[in-house]
Amino acid sequence: MHFAQISDIHVPDFEGVRVRDFMNKRATGLLNLLTGRRGAHPIELAERLIEDLANQKLDHVMVTGDLTNLSLPGEFQRASKLLRLLGGFDKLTVIPGNHDVYTKGAELSGRFQGYFADLLWPGDTPAEDRVFPVVKDLGPISVFALSSAIATAPLIAWGEVSKEQLKVLERELAAPPRQGQFKVVLVHHNLHTVRSPWKQYSSRLRNADAVTEVCTRQGVDLILHGHTHGAHRFTAERDGRTVTVIGCGSSTQMSQDPLKVARYNIYSVSKKQLKVRTRVYDLVERRFGWLV
């Protein structure tokens, strides 16, 4: 089984926006896009990312959130069009990040689900049953997709996985048909705490310990996250049990820092053994290649 993880692609698109669309938290987000993050996630790099993914021999692609910048309809439309070049329900699993519920309006309207429901739930799933976690059984692996995305105040990017999600997650992880499967959990917000004090306060997963506890207790093999734009990997431990946690970094970030430039991971699973390889964007060649 070969699957890729991409994350934090932040597809830009301002088509059809109105002044009143920025009379909320988006005002600070727009200022950030026009200053510190100006040109950080060009659409051309997102297009090259999709082309490179299409050229790999992949069974599935998992997207760990932040498909957009400001939860604008145009951004969702463009991100949806790009991702669908890779396939549909059987080829893609997508979860929201904090930027995909950037405003309370986007959260309450279920805008993310409106654009990506067909990638998460079978077409005949009633609207009331289209909730997280999403569970997909993909041959030798089972994927459990959580949502940690919640609307927050300006300058705050907290996340939280609801108690109901954790309850369902535990039940699904323990289900007899999934014993012996390689279990992969997707969540947008990071689980590690090695960040600046401000980032740890303003951008944390508020119940990271509870998520880690459920995953270790139920034998999860791999947790994939986004949110941090630099690649990160560690082993979480609870009560003598461990789980590998990996953030692939942003897959579309234009950066001179070799540790933060656009990248994505390809995971190979065989008989419960995991191999991880990384493809990184070369600023000179303007293409992705293997990290060596």
Weakest mean pLDDT among 159-168, 189-198, 271-280? 189-198
Q: Output DSSP code: residue 177.
A: G
SS (H, E, C) 85-110: HHCCCCCEEEECCHHHHCCHHHHHCC
How far separated are the first and last CA of the chain, in Å rounded?
A: 22
Stronger pLDDT, 14 or 247, i.e. the higher one? 247
Q: Residue for token digits 């998992």?
A: 62
Over residues 59-77, the pLDDT tens digits come to 999 999 999 999 999 999 9
b (16+ CB within 10 A) / e for 56-67: eebbbbbbbbbb
Asked if 248 and 288 count as a contact pair (C-beta separation under 8 A), the reply is no
- Which among 121, 124, 115 is positioned nearest to 135, based on CA atoms? 121
b (16+ CB within 10 A) / e for 167-194: ebbeebbeeeebeebbbbbbbbbbbbee
- Which among 139, 177, 176, 141 is positioned nearest to 274, based on CA atoms? 141
Weakest mean pLDDT among 17-26, 124-133, 189-198, 212-221? 17-26
Answer yes or no: is pLDDT of 30 > 70.
Answer: no
pLDDT band at residue 15 under the 50/70/90 scheme = confident
Answer yes or no: is pLDDT of 81 > 80.
Answer: yes
The β-bridge partners of 137 are 142
Query: Any residues with CB less than 8 A from the CB of 128 and at least 6 apart, and which?
Result: none
Q: What is the mean pLDDT of the chain?
A: 93
Answer yes or no: is pLDDT of 40 > 70.
Answer: yes
* Model pLDDT, residue 22: 66
pLDDT band at residue 25 under the 50/70/90 scheme = confident
Q: Residue for token digits 């459920």?
A: 214
- The mean pLDDT value for 36-54 works out to 91
Q: Residue for token digits 């999860």?
A: 220
Answer yes or no: is pLDDT of 229 > 80.
Answer: yes
Over residues 110-162, the pLDDT tens digits come to 999 999 999 999 988 998 899 999 999 999 999 999 999 999 999 899 999 99
pLDDT band at residue 4 under the 50/70/90 scheme = very high
pLDDT band at residue 34 under the 50/70/90 scheme = low
* Model pLDDT, residue 28: 76
Share of the chain above pLDDT 70, in %: 94
- The mean pLDDT value for 100-119 works out to 94
* Model pLDDT, residue 289: 98
- The mean pLDDT value for 171-191 works out to 96
pLDDT band at residue 172 under the 50/70/90 scheme = very high
Stronger pLDDT, 20 or 197, i.e. the higher one? 197
Weakest mean pLDDT among 12-26, 205-219, 258-272, 275-289? 12-26
Asked if 224 and 185 count as a contact pair (C-beta separation under 8 A), the reply is yes
Structure-block tokens of residue 150: 């919640």
pLDDT band at residue 31 under the 50/70/90 scheme = low
